[in-house]
Each structure stands twice: as C-alpha cells, then as structure tokens.
Amino acid sequence: MQKNDKLERRPRRRVLIVDDEIIDRQLLKAIVSRKYEVLCAESGEEALETIRSQPLSLVLLDLIMPGMNGYEVLRAIRKDPALRQLPVIVLTAEKDAEVETLRLGATDFIPKPFYMPEVILARIDRSIELAEDKLIISGAETDPLTGLYKQDFFLHYARQLDRFEPDLPMDAVVLNVNRFHLVNELYGRAFGDSLLREIGSILRRLVQGTPGLAGRTASDTFVLYLPHREDYEASLLAPLAAAGGAPGRARATVRVGIYPLAAKSADLEQRLDRANLACSRLRGNYATACAYYDTSTHEEELREERLISGMETALQERQFRVFYQPKYLIQGSRPVLASAEALIRWFHPERGMIPPASFIPLFEQNGLISRLDHYVWREVAEQIRAWKDRYDFSVPVSVNVSRVDLFDPGLEDTLREVLDACGLEPSEYLLEITESSYTDHAEQLVETVRRLRALGFQVEMDDFGTGYSSLNMLTALPIDTLKLDMGFIRNIASSPKDLRMVELMLDLAKFLAVPVVAEGVETEEQYRLLKNAGCELIQGYYFSRPVPPEEFALLIEKELKERESDAQNGADQTGRNESC
C-alpha cells in the first residue's frame, strides 16, 4: 500500500523512443504518450546521449539503424553501472533477433509493425513496474532504518519533481543531530537507531500527502525537498524537540537549516548546500533550532569564500601577524610577567585588520587551520628565539592548537621540528587546547595530550567552563593549567553569585593541583578579587591587550628592569613560581 502511494505521488514517468524511421516513431509516440511522457531519438548516438543526461523509466529501442545500431546501444547501457537497471524493450521486425537481444539484456520485445496499442502499453507498464519493484526489493531506494530515500534516489526524484513541477515553490531543508556520536556512545546504538527512526517518521509525516520528498543522506543527516511552507516551528521543530527523550537521559537535539523558496536557477545540490550552510551556522548551539538561508547568508558565504581563497596569498604576502598578550603571576608582591599567548591577526589589504573570530572557525571547518597554525607556531618559535638572544630571557609563549591539529598524526613531529629549528626546549612552548575538544573525542585526545606532555610540552585547557568536562574526566585529564573562560570573569565585580562560581572553580583546580589562568581581566577590581580568591595567573586588558612583538618587547624590558631593582632591594620579587 505504501508503495502504491509513493508511485502515485511520483511525477509522470518518461519513456524514450529510439527509431530511425519517422513513421515508426510517430506511431509509437501516439500510443505511448497516452500514458507516459515521451522523448524521441533518431539514432543510437542520440539515444545514448539522452539516456545519460536524464532519468528515464524505459527505453523502446529499434535494432536496425544506420550508424550505431540497437545492439550496440543495448550493450552500452548494460555495461554502464548507472544505467544497468534501466528497462529496455526492443522493437524489431526480425523474429530471429529475439533471443540475441534478450541475451544482451533486453527486458522484452515488441514486434513490428505496431498494432494492438493496448498490448504495447501493457508490456511497457509491466516492464517499468518490474524494474521499479526490483529496485524497491533490492532495498536500493530507501534506507532500511528510516524508510526514507537514500541520497541518490532522493536527488533523482527531487530532480524529476523539478522537471514536472517547475513552478511549484520549493524549500530545501537539511537536518543534523547534534553530537550524534556522543548520543551513540553514551546511550548505546539501539537508542541512537530509535532516535533516527523517530526523526524519520516525523519527516515522513511532514511530506505525506504532498509531492515533497524526505531522505537520509548520512548517518545523522536528513534532507527534505518539499513545497514551500511557513509553519516549520510547529510542524517540524516542535515534534523534533519532543523526540529523542528517554527517562534519565539528556534529550538529543537537532539542528535544521532551511533554504526557503529555493532558487531553481541553482542546481539541486547547490540548493541543499545552502540549507546545509544555514544548518552549520547552528553548530555549537545545542538546543533544537532552525536557521534560514537568506541573502545575507549568501553575502556572508561569498565573503567567507573570499577569505578562504585568499589565505594562501595572505600567507605568502605575510598579511598574517602574530600578536602577543602577556600573562602575569599575581600572588607575589608585584605582578610578574610569566608567559604570553600568541594570537593571530589578519591585516587584509582591502578589509583592514580582521580578527581571528572571523576566519579561524572558517578555516577549522575545511582543515586550512593547520596551515595557519603551523605558520603561527614557526613565527612564535622564531620570536622566542629572538627575545632570548636579545634579552637572555625566555618568555614561554602559548599557541592555540585547533582540534584539527590534534588529529594530525604528524603533530608531534611538526612541533619538534619547529622547536629544533630555533634551538628551543618544549618547556618554552605552551599549548592551549580548548575544553570542548576534550569532551568531543575524549579518549583519543587524552592519549595525544599525554604524548605531548611526555615530550615536555605544557598543556593549558583553554576556555575552561564552556565545555562539558565532568569532574571524573577532569581528574583523569593530563593538563598543566586551567584557563578559566572570560565569561566567568566578566561580572564578578557586580555579581556575588558569579564571584562565588569563580571561587568554586579555583577550589576545584586546587583539588586537582593545577594552577588557573583567569582570562579577560579588564579592571582593577576584577584583578583584586581574583588575587584575593587565590588565582595564580591573569591575562587581560587590565595588563595589556594583545600587542605586536615590538610592543611586547617593551613589557619584557620593563620586567627585566623590575627584576633588577627587586634584586637590589632584596624584595620578594616573584610570584609563587617562575613559569606557569
């Protein structure tokens, strides 16, 4: 029953007639077009071109033609894996040809001259039905878990729909389960599967009774191509938000990207890409939510595309510059310069200074970030070397390590090479790894970090408090410093609750025996509160913004002078330890 529903909703099927005789073509066309859309080809060559350029339900093929004959066409169809399933009925006046053509893979045979139109139509119907049944039986068309179309078939039917309903306004929609691998890992595959099935039935319900189509194109990616509607909040988001719940489990959530009134001038894949782009903008947002693709998204996409394509030139022309922001030890009698963080800036010839937040996430998506990070790492090593030579003073510098870098098997070698080239020790180099990297790929990452630390690198957990580390996980993590995310610091002066939160985190860090860097400290008051609460290290505008190396050199010079005068006065010159 379900099958018939589906067949009826499909657009009219398309049949190709291949015959060099105009009379035969016209005769057959008159019969077939009663029920099917008909295309005609006059030669074998033209036939193959048509067959390869569009989806067809059946070919009626004359055997005897000048040039490429029917046998050759048939052979070519059967040799092509993409066309192998296409039913072909052979037309010929020669009785003897029957066996040969069936052997070559013809589905059936219609004798010439054509009479009894009903019989001809019945044979065509039967061949098409058989071929479609075969596809369905082989399970090739739908995904067994959700019953939705697999990618190829989804695209195929969506294209047909466009062809037959060119004026119907359509929406392209892409859905993705947030952190699906975690859902599987935490709650088991059976739960993951039932979640996917649940999503599948919500999508099926949405397109039921419409010409719309629903598909599953990857493990946790779903697509819809359906007549335009305005009620996605109620018809899609609400049921999705209610799905995937089970007692004692966090609810799984879904992000949805919608390209409404998708422009048919763009090809189908492009339209789905745009929905996908809107969807990917919700990454990092962990509630069930939807985003729309619109012209501003498009402009942003273009801007981003230009940044991506401009990166290589920018590297060559040294448009990227590394800035340094100091970190100070604050528990001694005066703040002591302990280390710095390297932060990249892009000085674009047309757009001026571009902050990293505008391009780092972009480069992270496509892997370009590794190129850029490696560049930064080399620049930083050279800079540390230069300062060491000039001041006989080593400022350890921390570099940001993207999660993409962490899965690069050559990571350790790259870092070693960078240091060796400048004659530096791993202890002079700190690595900042953001907390969410740990929670996403815990085991593999912990292993990598362990190896890096064994080589002598110090590892700081960046943006601490924004990820999902459990206490359990924290105690098992191999890290040297926690970097408290600046979101926690922002309101400590005005909100006692926020201050209490920071104090709790500092207690936690004490329990784990790791020092804490507070990031984003902007005011004297924040500084004082953190100092009283026992925070060891501070980074923020209160001391200095990230500055170019020439300016950072002044901070080094100031530090050296103070050390000198401390030594002369015999004062307690430093904080609790020399480096962080």
Q: What SS3 class is residue 325? A: strand
Q: How many residues bind ligand C2E (CB under 6 A)?
A: 24
Nearest of 12, 31, 14 to residue 110 by alpha carbon = 31
Are 150 and 231 within 8 A, CB to CB?
no
> From CA 11, how far away is CA 14, in angstroms rounded?
9
Residue 162 touches Ca ion, criterion: CB under 5 A: no
Applying CB under 6 A, which of residues 353, 357, 471, 513 lies at the interface with ligand C2E? Answer: 357
Are 77 and 33 within 8 A, CB to CB?
no
Per partner kind, with CB cut-offs from 5 to 8 A, the member of ligand C2E, Ca ion, none near residue 360 is: ligand C2E
Per partner kind, with CB cut-offs from 5 to 8 A, the member of Ca ion, ligand C2E, none near residue 408 is: none
Residue 520 touches ligand C2E, criterion: CB under 6 A: yes
Nearer to ligand C2E, 252 or 535 (CB): 535
> From CA 209, how far away is CA 192, in angstroms rounded?
28
List the x/- string, 458-497, binding to ligand C2E by CB under 6 A.
----xx----------------------x-----------
Applying CB under 6 A, which of residues 304, 412, 522, 562 lies at the interface with ligand C2E? Answer: 522
For residue 305, the minimal CB distance to ligand C2E (Å) is 20
Are 359 and 397 within 8 A, CB to CB?
no
| Those residues with Cβ within 8 angstroms of residue 231's Cβ, 6 or more apart along the chain or in another chain | none
Eight-class DSSP state of 461:
E
Residue 376 touches ligand C2E, criterion: CB under 6 A: yes
Residues 328-348, buried b or exposed e (16+ Cβ, 10 A)? bbbbbeebbbbbbbbbbbbeb
> From CA 415, how far away is CA 430, in angstroms rounded?
11
Question: Element (H or E) spanning 64, and its range?
Answer: none
For residue 424, the minimal CB distance to ligand C2E (Å) is 18
| Segment lying near ligand C2E (by CB under 6 A), choices 124-132, 135-143, 267-275, 349-357 | 349-357
| Segment lying near ligand C2E (by CB under 6 A), choices 197-205, 381-389, 452-460, 513-521 | 513-521
Nearest of 418, 416, 406, 417 to residue 442 by alpha carbon = 406
Residue nearest to Ca ion (CB): 432
Are 401 and 431 within 8 A, CB to CB?
yes
Applying CB under 6 A, which of residues 31, 344, 482, 555 lies at the interface with ligand C2E? Answer: 344
> From CA 405, how far away is CA 395, in angstroms rounded?
24
For residue 144, the minimal CB distance to ligand C2E (Å) is 41
Per partner kind, with CB cut-offs from 5 to 8 A, the member of ligand C2E, Ca ion, none near residue 43 is: none
For residue 504, the minimal CB distance to ligand C2E (Å) is 21
Residue type, 36: Y
Nearest of 59, 26, 264 to residue 50 by alpha carbon = 59
List the x/- string, 539-558, binding to ligand C2E by CB under 6 A.
xxx----x------------
Are 436 and 462 within 8 A, CB to CB?
no
Residue 360 touches ligand C2E, criterion: CB under 6 A: yes
Nearest of 456, 445, 459 to residue 405 by alpha carbon = 445
List the x/- string, 281-320, binding to ligand C2E by CB under 6 A.
----------------------------------------
Per partner kind, with CB cut-offs from 5 to 8 A, the member of ligand C2E, Ca ion, none near residue 344 is: ligand C2E
Nearer to ligand C2E, 325 or 448 (CB): 325
Touching Ca ion, residues 395-434 (CB under 5 A): 400, 432
Residue 143 touches Ca ion, criterion: CB under 5 A: no
> From CA 48, how far away is CA 54, in angstroms rounded?
10
Binding residues (CB under 6 A) for ligand C2E: these are 325, 343-344, 355-357, 360, 369, 373, 376, 400, 402, 432, 462-463, 486, 519-522, 539-541, 546
